[in-house]
Structure 1
Amino acid sequence: MSGTNRTDADVVIVGGGFMGIASAFFLRQRGRSVVVLERGLIGQQASGVNFGNVRRQGRYLPQLPLANRSREIWGKLPELIGHDAEFLMSGHIRVCYRQEQDDALEVYAREAAHYGLKLALYRGAELHAKFPFLGREVLSGSHSIMDGHANPRLAAPAFGRAAARAGARLEENTEIATVEKDGDLFRATSTDGRVFCAPNMLITAGAWGNQLSTQFGEAVPIMVNGPQMAVTEPVPYSIQPVVGVTSPMLEEIIYFRQVARGNIVIGGCARAPAFLDQRRAKVLPESTLLQFKQLARVAPAVTRLNIIRVWSGVEGYMPDDHPIMGPSGKVDGLYYAFGFCGHGFQLGPGVGDVMAELIDTGATSTPIEPFAIQRFATTANATPIAA
């Protein structure tokens, strides 16, 4: 097939969120020609509306090598892409209310040290002296001084601009109707008839990833829902670390961070319905009320502030809470990076670097085997579910 409606490249990336656009940037660093296809705008979906946590602690331990690789890149953003995305190495403290969670924090700190993540544990009076804004019910905390936060509204677009400057072709407002492999080439056809061809395809379509992987016979049981987010009025900057509560109960898992201009960003406690066809998710009023109830436990002073905005986004969650990342189990030249279960923001630069290395060389120095799509090969029902 030839003509003005066809575009060829070394790699076609379907999905212009953080994972896709970072992959495009790093592929260009390796000299690969890239076209990125995005239905809306770069970073418009989950990549741009998440909490903005740049944390490593609390992750699945085998994911720490990827998180460590990503953290190194976060520290180099200004020289790498010409923008810092408001990344601030503020530290991150993970707190709990019960002895069993305290015990788990201690075990995690010991095991994380083998992956190069150093954590300091604080309890009782020492904890409250170091973090005086914490409520008296907080029993202990695990502090990671190298973690922090960034602005999700800036990060993916900044990578997009850098990728474009490096020669990547970005096709925004381009909805893809079909993806297929014809001989040695992959073909992505847009709803307006344009065709994009390449010997390699990377699917980074977030919660919509299953709609594309299914066309290659690799359906996955992804669940879609909307995290609940809020932000307060600005007040003088006084809370440096990102704070997150660890608990076996979702309603207790709240997290918050204060940005330099004074607003406090809040997330957690609940999830709400999300709709793939509408590209929308809702914030439920009861979620915001629950967040305030939980804030009163972890940081009572924050509840004196006014909420000025709430929002959500469409996130994709896997049953085992791990993403799909790596090569296809069925089709040569096909790769995936989606379904990051609400904790992909910190990983974005690392995922891009790893996927570029994998596509360019056929291997990666960072282990990603636990995230292979083949683990869902026998799943009977892979229809996306709203929860």
Structure 2
Amino acid sequence: MTKRQADVVVVGGGLIGAWTAFFLARRGRKVVLIEKGVVGAQSSGTNFGNLRLQGRFPGQYPLSLRSQALWEDIENLIGDRCEFHQSGHLYIAFNAAEREKLEAYAAVSESYGLTIEHLGPADLTRRYPWLSTRAVAATFSPRDATANPRLVTPAVARAAKALGVEILEHCTVTHARRDGAGFIVETADGRSFGSDHLVNSAGAWAGEIAEMFGESAPLFPAGPPQFVTEPFPYFLFPSVQAVDGTVIFRQIPRGNIILAGYPRTAADPIRNRAPVPPSKTLAAMRHLAAVVPALRHCHVIRVWSGIEGYLPDMIPVIGPSATTEGLFHAFGFCGHGFQIGPGVGLCLSEMICDGRTETPLEPFSIARFRGTVAEDEKFRREFDRPAAAEKGGPWARRASPSPAAARSIPCAAAPRWPRCPTR
């Protein structure tokens, strides 16, 4: 077997892997990016496209703000705007307890310099007359934005390729090991690559790569159901999210409403499936109608999802391996990876090229899973978890698909909603 040499091998061609390869190539490194399917096919290309700064884990703000600056410069970076739009993000509360949660989120955001507008019922009625009168409070962050996830990862990959990155699609890594001062990576089609550094950004499959080096994390595969409606008269300018997590939605200039519905659905990384049960479509539309009554008769025209990795504390793993020098992990982004993707890629490139990064990554160390990690409240609330996994205890090991999760769930045709009389 002939071994080909690179400075860095990146495993996983999602947004994290593509940005990491791009920034490494800008520093003159020879990079091979290996993707088992096609670039951006899973959660990187099937997510909601939200670039939300509000409501993040406090330790993530330095990374998140650094990443947002890169998003704001995306056209200069890669030559493609990817429908980046600074729409702002409206977080909504429907009772006193939710309002208290909003205010707590806002206080953290403001402590990191983010501008937050605090809105009461009168403000909401004046600025957003389409909003349900049940809303009692909201916060608005004008710097928050959106982009089109279907466009971004392929565009970053094209820019990386133009800088010399070799991108291998439909190529599965079967073995990876430390070899002297570097690494050997072998693929199912018989190829072998040597490198000085290895980046594990394999998404929901990253646990398998970590285990090759004696590390583990309780990675849970899931898919956030996504929906799009028929075009509707354009009137929704910000992204809108209920703080209880039931729904997040935005309207694109063509008029379609894009929304995500929770709880998330168990996915099958073995059969590469992330089905969306019809009940999720109905529930998502009920939640949407509760926030914007004028949309109660929109027609859903398409549903989809992708496979992404979640960790019980809802905090990703980012940074150096705790067992193997030269190995870097970036996985388990828990639905937050789209916004911080450019920043993660830049930080990893700095750690590989310079041995350090100015952005603190200590909260994201994989070493935290050597002890007990408590489940985050959002993790408990936002998942339909397989019963078999629940019987196995509080995520003591990396979850494998149970028979219930692995079964194919038939997808029915999207329901036809009665037409809105105002149209």
User: Which of the five TM-score ranges fits, normalised by the shorter chain?
Assistant: over 0.9
1:382 aligns with 2:394: no
Question: Which of the residues 240, 244, 248 maps onto 2:241?
Answer: 244
Match for residue 57 of structure 1 among 28, 33, 54: 54
The residue that corresponds to 1:265 in the other structure is 258
What are the within-5 Å matches in structure 2 for residues 162-201 of structure 1? Answer: 162-201=159-198
- Note the alpha carbon deviations across 1:293-335, whole angstroms, 9 max, x for none: 1112111112221000001111111010000000000100000
Provide the secondary structure at the position in 2 that maps to 1:173. Answer: coil
* Residue of structure 2 equivalent to 1:102: 99
After TM superposition, the score normalised by the length of structure 2 is: 0.88
Task: Report the equivalent of 1:307.
Answer: 300
Report the 3-state secondary structure (helix = DSSP H, G, I; strand = E; otherwise coil) of the residue aligned with 1:10: strand
State the Cα deviation string for residues 1-42 of structure 1 (Å, max 9, x = none). Answer: x73xx2211110000000000000001111111110001111
Q: What are the Cα deviations for residues 79-113 of structure 1, in whole angstroms up to 9, with x where unaligned?
A: 11000111100010111111122122223222321
Counterpart mapping for 1:119-138 below 5 A: 119-138=116-135
The structure 2 residue matched to 1:77, chosen from 74, 78, 98, is 74
Q: Which residue type is aligned with residue 196 of structure 1?
A: F
Which structure has more relative contact order (CA 8 Å, sep 6+)? It is 1
The equivalent of 1:334 in structure 2 is 327
Residues 34-79 of structure 1 show CA distances to partners (whole Å, capped at 9, x for unaligned) of: 1100011111111000111011101111101111111101111111
Aligned residues: 380
C-alpha contact (below 8 Å) 2:55/2:109 kept by paired residues? no
Q: Equivalent residue for 2:267?
A: 274
In structure 2, give the amino acid aligned to 1:93: L
User: What code does the residue aligned with 1:112 have?
Assistant: S
CA contact (8 A) 1:254 1:266 kept: yes
Among 333, 340, 354, the residue aligned to 1:361: 354
Kept after mapping to 2: 8 A contact 1:210/1:384: no
Q: Any idea what SS the aligned residue of 2:336 has?
A: coil
Q: How many Å separate the matches in 2 of 1:162 and 1:32?
A: 14
CA contact (8 A) 2:261 2:283 kept: no
- Conserved? CA contact 1:121–1:143, under 8 Å: yes
From 314, 317, 325, the counterpart of 1:321: 314
Offset, 1:269: 2.1
Partner Cα separation in structure 1 for residue 236 and residue 349 of structure 2? 37
Deviating runs (4+, > 4 A) in structure 1? Answer: none
SS of match in other structure, 2:97: helix
What letter is aligned with 2:319?
Answer: G
3-state SS, counterpart of residue 293 of structure 1? helix
CA RMSD of aligned residues (A): 1.3
Unaligned ranges ≥5, structure 2: 373-394, 406-423
What is the CA–CA distance in structure 2 between the aligned matches of 1:229 and 1:72, rounded to whole Å?
Answer: 27
Matched, 1:212 2:209: yes
Q: Distance in 1 between matches of 2:259 and 2:347?
A: 30
Secondary structure (helix, strand or coil) at the match of 1:199 reads strand
Residue identity in the other structure for 1:227: P
What is the deviation of 1:385? 4.2
Please state how far the C-alpha of 1:236 moved relative to its aligned partner. Answer: 2.8
The alignment's TM-score, normalised by the length of structure 1, stands at 0.96
Q: Write out aligned runs for 1:16-165 (5 A).
A: 16-165=13-162
